[in-house]
Amino acid sequence: MDDDIQDDIETAEVAEPEGGADEPAIEYDGDHYLRISANKITFEGVSKSGLTSVCFDESNTQVFSILSGDATEVTVQSPYPEKCHNFRMEEKGRVIAMKFSPDQGILALQRTPNSIEFLTISNRIVSRDFSENFKGCVLLGFVWTGKTEIVYITNLSIKLCRVDVNSGCTSVIKSLNLNLVNWYNFYSPICLLLVSVGQTGNSMQLLQVKHNQILKISKFDVDVDLKSRKTVSDRDVVLWVVYNQPRILVMNYLTVNTIVQTEVVIYTIKKLSEVKKTHVLRIHQTGRFALNIVDNLIIVHNQVSKTSMVFDITDESSVAVTYHTPVVEPKSLKAFEDQPAASTVMPKVVELYSKNWIMFQPNIVMDVKIGYLWALELNLAGFCETISDKKALIRFLLLRSGSKLMITKAVTAIAEQPSQLALLGEIFDQINRNYMSFLQQFIKRQQSLPLTLTQPDDDEVVEFQCVIDQSSMHAQVFSKLAEKLDMSKTDDTKGHKVLSWVLLEYIRSLTDLQIPTQPFIYELLIKMMVITENFYQLHQLLQFYAVNDTKSLAILLLSLENRYPASPQLALDMLERLGTGTDEIIEILLAKKEVISCLRYSEQKTGPHQTIVPMKCLDAARQNGNKRVFHAVKMHVNPNAVNNDKGPDL
């Protein structure tokens, strides 16, 4: 790799890789795979009196608590402070749905199946409001696709409209007629709309709202068993992105020998042009199920058994459909400990897998009765304790966010076992292939326009991967192993030899992938080789340029002279090859009292008319006390520097 690419690699090491942020230290828990977040959002839950109702907007991640009375009090909670609101509006009856536009400028709400209202809020009160009625059809719902663009889903059509709050009306931009629409599912980041049509609900029409158009992508039937149910309901279908591909997940209840079993059928939307059945998740359980997606893992919750299953669909096969079993054995979520802020407040009892739980995508869990909203989180320590195949574990962790510390911990444990060197090499290859992919993307970004300008419209969702660069490996694995050896206070160098092998295997992996090895990796390797007195192999590495020349490496070699007498000459040769170490070479030769060699080298590099170095050589020769060398240097420099030499003869 040329010097420019080497510079890019070093810059990338300094830059924070995708998924490379240092994770905060958390309590290690190897007993659970999943937990609900400690930071919950609280809201006024649904009341028995019916005075308080709750709505949730997946697109904006907002939960609305609506308290009816003389006036309607609305409290909007969200993980994002700018999306939290509190306002009052006129009491007009029960609210079915409530959603803000993406910029929070307009509020749309539905009370009846044949009307919708629009409001703007100022100083906690409604400043403007108007409504629109629907005749001859039923309004099933609505979604915002822009600041003023809204889509109505009715039982007969899909309408894209523009909302004008100033004139108090809406205008139709595009309309699409459909027959017998049952329900819809919406993925807001790329405005995908999945519509169920027909008597049984298993016929699907996939649409995309884009550039003021309603685009038909595909119409297809989902492969489900209708013996155990009459129709496919919206609660059994999820539209989301998994591993950079939009997917449709459908719960399929199979009747086998009068026993109902469940599977999840996954359809992949290929390049936003066609839909194909690609995966099936084998559950082999009965019960009431719900789905979440966390960090590209598909979570299947069973309310009856109070357990959750984790599926990973990275494995593809040559056949049309890939069948999957859970990555690990089903387990319950980690129990939630409610800690009230005030000691006088009674803690609320949180029942896991409650019948009051509602799951929203991708990882939202809401208890509408007690008024809690959590995010579902992975507990990676649980996977580390359970997945015994270390290659499979590292591969699994590389695709998870916040996994860097878990990966380096696993690598460290393997590196301490000399018998696992071959396995460690394969793991290094896994890590470095991911690292190389990141470097290639980084260099492309450095050499081209920003991704926001070059990214195609149909690829707006980026797959997330954890990146472990050389700095992280050095700091979290190699240096810690070296420190542990230094603290052992034993003359046995077996551990240092093992670390040398580990470092060589890591360098081999980098070299195979054409990734330049950073100097600090070489420096640690050289230290280990010197400690183990493996001078022959070290000499071979340096002499045949297997190690990249750097000034810091040359300085390290100079410091090893007492243990490795050949190191100063290797350092001088390295500085000479670098072509930028002339001053350092001169100082080294003077320090070693090689005055004649220093004088010759100086004149070779700077010419005979340079006076500073010859005078330094003359002073050094005088201080050394060798009369022959002093007079030889003085006679050599006298034509150029005799007038400047004021010092006495020896």
pLDDT score for 452: 42
pLDDT grade, residue 495 (50/70/90)? confident
Q: What is the mean pLDDT of residues 64-71?
A: 90
Q: Which two tokens stand for residue 585?
A: 């070479």
Q: Rounded to whole angstroms, how far apart are CA atoms 386 and 327?
A: 10
Out of 75-84, 480-489, 628-637, which region has the weakest mean confidence (pLDDT)? 628-637
CA distance 4 to 38: 46
The residues that bridge with 264 in the sheet, in sequence order, are: 251, 281
Please choose, from the candidates 83, 73, 71, the residue with its C-alpha nearest in 3D space to the C-alpha of residue 53.
73
Distance CA 357, CA 370 (A): 10
Across the chain, mean pLDDT equals: 83
Q: 441 falls in which pLDDT band (50, 70, 90)? A: confident
Minimum mean pLDDT range among 4-13, 138-147, 305-314: 4-13
pLDDT tens-digit readout, 302-331: 999 999 999 999 876 667 899 999 999 999
Q: Which helix H or strand E contains 499, and what residues bound it?
A: helix 494-512
As a whole number of angstroms, the distance between CA 133 and CA 112 comes to 10
Length of the chain: 650
Kindly state the average pLDDT of the residues 248-257.
85
Percent of the chain at pLDDT > 70 equals: 79
pLDDT at 457: 42
pLDDT (0 to 100) of residue 204:
94
- pLDDT score for 134: 93
Residue 453 has a pLDDT of 35
Q: Find the range with the poorest average confidence among 36-40, 64-68, 292-296, 626-630.
A: 626-630
CA distance linking residue 83 with residue 11, whole number of Å: 37
Instruction: Indicate the pLDDT class of residue 342, thresholds 50, 70 and 90.
Output: low
Burial tier of 567 (Cβ tally within 10 Å: 0-12, 13-18, 19+): buried
What ranges in 178-332 are assigned the alpha helix state H?
none
Lowest average pLDDT, out of 135-144, 241-250, 607-616, goes to: 607-616
Side-chain-side CA neighbours of 153 within 13 Å: the count stands at 21
- Residue 435: what residue type? Y
Task: Give Cβ neighbours of residue 58 (< 8 Å, ≥ 6 apart).
Answer: 186, 188, 360, 361, 364
Number of Cα atoms under 13 Å in the Cβ half of residue 475:
9
pLDDT of 623 above 80: no
Distance (Å, whole) CA 111 – CA 133: 11
Spatial separation of the C-alpha atoms in residues 388 and 395, rounded to whole Å: 12
Q: Which amino acid is at 644?
A: N
Q: Where does the pLDDT of residue 346 fall: very low under 50, low under 70, confident under 90, or very high at 90 and above? A: low
pTM above 0.85, yes or no: no
Please, are residues 13 and 471 in contact by the beta-carbon 8 Å criterion? yes
Residue 39, classified by CB atoms within 10 Å of its CB into exposed (0-12), middle (13-18) or buried (19+), is: exposed
Q: Is the pLDDT score of 476 beyond 90?
A: yes
* % of the chain at pLDDT higher than 90: 49
**Alpha-carbon distance 349 to 356, whole Å?**
13
pLDDT tens across 414-427, in order?
999 888 888 999 99
Identify which has the larger pLDDT, 21 or 130.
130
What's the whole-number mean pLDDT along residues 126-150? 93
Residue 17 structure tokens: 């890789």
Least confident of 288-302, 413-427, 601-615: 601-615
Confidence of residue 530 (pLDDT cuts 50, 70, 90): confident
Provide the pLDDT confidence category of residue 631 given band limits of 50, 70 and 90: low
The pLDDT of residue 596 is: 64
Beta strand ranges found along 134-235 (DSSP E): 139-144, 149-154, 157-164, 169-177, 181-187, 192-197, 203-210, 213-221
What is the pLDDT averaged over residues 626-641? 59
Q: How far, in Å, CA of 168 to CA of 396, rounded? A: 53
Round to whole Å and give the CA distance between 94 and 55: 11
Q: Which residues of 294-319 are buried (b: 16+ CB within 10 A; e: fewer)?
A: bbbbbbbbbeeebbbbbbbbeeeeee
| For residue 88, pLDDT beyond 60 | yes
Terminal alpha carbon distance of the chain: 54
pLDDT of residue 607: 58
Q: What is the pLDDT of residue 619?
A: 64
Average pLDDT over residues 102-126: 92
Q: Is the pLDDT of residue 460 over 50?
A: no
pLDDT of residue 124: 82
- Residue 609: how many other CB atoms lie within 10 Å: 8
User: Which pLDDT score is estimated for 120?
Assistant: 92
Q: Is the pLDDT of residue 458 over 50?
A: no
CA atoms within 13 A on the CB side of 502: 28
pLDDT in tens, 152-208: 999 999 999 999 998 999 999 999 999 899 999 999 999 999 999 988 888 999 999
Check whether 483 has a pLDDT greater than 60: yes
**Number of other CB atoms surrounding residue 293 within 10 Å:** 18
pLDDT-based confidence at residue 397 (cuts at 50, 70, 90): very high
If we measure between CA atoms, which residue out of 226, 272, 284, 219 comes closest to residue 246? 272
Please name the helix (run of DSSP H) or strand (run of DSSP E) that holds residue 635, with its range, or none.
Answer: helix 627-641
